[in-house]
A and B are shown apart, each in its own frame.
Chain A
């Protein structure tokens, strides 16, 4: 803590201004602790439903958090981020079904495919501004969805990849065992969140915030805005793809809905629900939406009506996501200006 901050007496700001190295160690410790807690959950609660819930949270959480790197941090409102979720699910599923390679190899290969696809699509998309960016990403998403539907011999068309995804064990991990799948999903989630947090807190992450706030100014001081946007587009795609891979493993298949634009819509919705200015907002949103979906579907046939009213409450009532609201409220209560970023 610097003297200036000590004088201001702003302990809330400690974290952001701590030495980078100690901060990284602290993040690493938190990540490890979270993973251990998650991994021990099955020992405490033996419920399969809970494990399934956490696996789904891992898949959607990685997807939604990566989308927030674009929406919240860079100001790129992508309506097509779900294409990488679908790409991950289909890429991984097809690789396992057709080639029979080991799981880690298929995982890396799927990420490699995602990397190249995202590079090409991103190079085209990030040139466009605001609403046109949103629509061109949407168009690419639907193009991929249409391709999946029409390429029946490869993808099974509207039936999806059926017949199950083979999951041979590797390094003593057997992903067809629910417990192993659970621990692996938790590990991927925690590693993914840790890496994304590192990206968000790095100088590059701050460059992104600057582009969001004033792209012209950023380019005037010598930042290659196009390159920075493309980099984050590709990075976010990789994490979304990882979410898709978890989903494919979970349902042991891949379906066209995974690549439909509504996945992107849900991702945006999750972000708005949880909040876009805090790193963990999307995770909170994911948990909220999944709980909401599960309960509402159980209670009523008019699922959309209830969900719509809840959304209205957030959009018109709070005017921000839950975490944003909580952070702001906490900040006001402490009578200090909460740092946004």
Chain B
């Protein structure tokens, strides 16, 4: 425990800016993963335990595309589109078979794919750590805000994540397809009876969730190292985020992700060894005081 470091940082504007920014980028990446998770849970009522794998695939796809083409934009596109397709296939071929079954069976299918996907990545890209490297366009001098260092790439990352949150939120609230998705989450039988193909909606939502996780992975690829199994810690953290925010709530995922980002960022100063413990402690406190999360609704 190192509380002096924490109080020292809180007193310095430079440190405050640096830590807040780093809290934000952790939070924004987590949000992109967690919002997919929460969407899939909200509509399909499936806890997608293999969601972290999509984050991992997004990162690897982006890295490969970047190495082949040298284009950052194409890398992001490949990361997002590749995982969307993967999500669609995964849902249609495997998950759709266990919808009626026990929750445990669904978890087991996902758990199986966590193991399988990690080994597939190991086969294709090798077991060692990889790095994509920062694209040339962002290899510029960092910005200084109130004495704190903020790399320009961080701003792009936060901007893209916020844009995704806005598009998703507005899309679900305002568009026709958004309304159909919400209706399917509420009463799939009725939606199906109205002549709408619910299988298509389920596949689409799963693909969308996979795409968001893949986008997060692609965005993280330049700043994090890539390794098989990288999806796992992200998965656990995004579970914490969705649970804190309330399963199925997009706003909850956003707030939860920022809170967890800040806990990680500032916690690593004050409690270097217990940073993870802080997150779990926070989760326990939230769940004990609000059993369905901050923005969760009691679902029967």
Contacts and interface: CB of A to CB of B under 8 A. Distances in A.
Given A129-B291, A302-B119, A315-B98, A272 B284 contact: no
Contacts of B276: 142, 146, 149
B297 interface: no
B191 interface: no
Interface string B7-36: 000000000000000000000000000000
Q: Identify whether the interface residues of B are mostly helix, strand, loop, or mixed.
A: helix
A204 interface: no
Interface stretch (A41-49, A225-233, A234-242, A305-313): A305-313
B200 to A, nearest CB: 22
Contacts of A276: 104
Interface stretch (A132-140, A159-167, A325-333): A132-140
B291 A127 contact: yes
A315 B247 contact: no
B280 A146 contact: yes
Q: Identify whether the interface residues of A are mostly helix, strand, loop, or mixed.
A: helix
B116 A305 contact: yes
A130 B47 CA distance: 12
A305 B108 CA distance: 14
A142 B130 CA distance: 28
Contact of A308 (B104, B105, B107, B115): B115
Interface in B257-300: 271, 273-274, 276-277, 280-281, 283-284, 287-288, 291-293
B94 interface: yes
Interface in B128-177: none
A316 B280 contact: no
B109 interface: yes
A316 B118 contact: no
B37 interface: no
Interface residues of B, number: 41
Interface stretch (B55-63, B64-72, B75-83, B235-243): B235-243
Contacts of B193: none
Nearest to A128: B291
A150 to B, nearest CB: 4
Interface residues of A, number: 41
A147 B280 CA distance: 11
Contacts of A308: 111-116, 119
B108 A143 contact: no
Contacts of B236: 142, 261
B287 A132 contact: yes
Contact of B274 (A150, A272, A303, A304): A150
A79 to B, nearest CB: 9
B196 interface: no
B277 A147 contact: yes
Contacts, number: 114
Interface string A67-78: 000010000010
A309 B109 CA distance: 9
By CB atoms of chain B within 10 A, which of A302, A312, A315 has the most?
A: A315
B122 interface: yes
B194 interface: no
A143 B277 contact: yes
B103 interface: yes
A120 to B, nearest CB: 12
Interface string B85-121: 0000000001001100101110111011111101110
A319 interface: yes
Nearest to B271: A150
27 contacts: A127-B291, A128-B291, A135-B283, A136-B287, A136-B288, A139-B240, A139-B280, A139-B283, A139-B284, A143-B277, A143-B281, A146-B274, A146-B276, A147-B277, A276-B104, A304-B114, A305-B115, A305-B116, A305-B119, A307-B115, A309-B116, A311-B108, A312-B109, A312-B112, A316-B97, A319-B101, A319-B105
Counting from the closest, the 3 A-B pairs by CB-CB distance are: A146-B277, A304-B115, A150-B273
Interface of A: 71, 77, 124, 127-132, 135-136, 138-140, 142-143, 146-147, 149-150, 152, 157, 261, 265, 268-269, 272, 276, 302-305, 307-309, 311-312, 314-316, 319
Given A142-B236, A305-B123, A307-B112, 16 more contacts: A136-B284, A138-B239, A139-B284, A140-B284, A142-B277, A142-B280, A143-B277, A268-B107, A268-B108, A302-B122, A303-B119, A308-B116, A315-B98, A315-B105, A316-B98, A316-B109
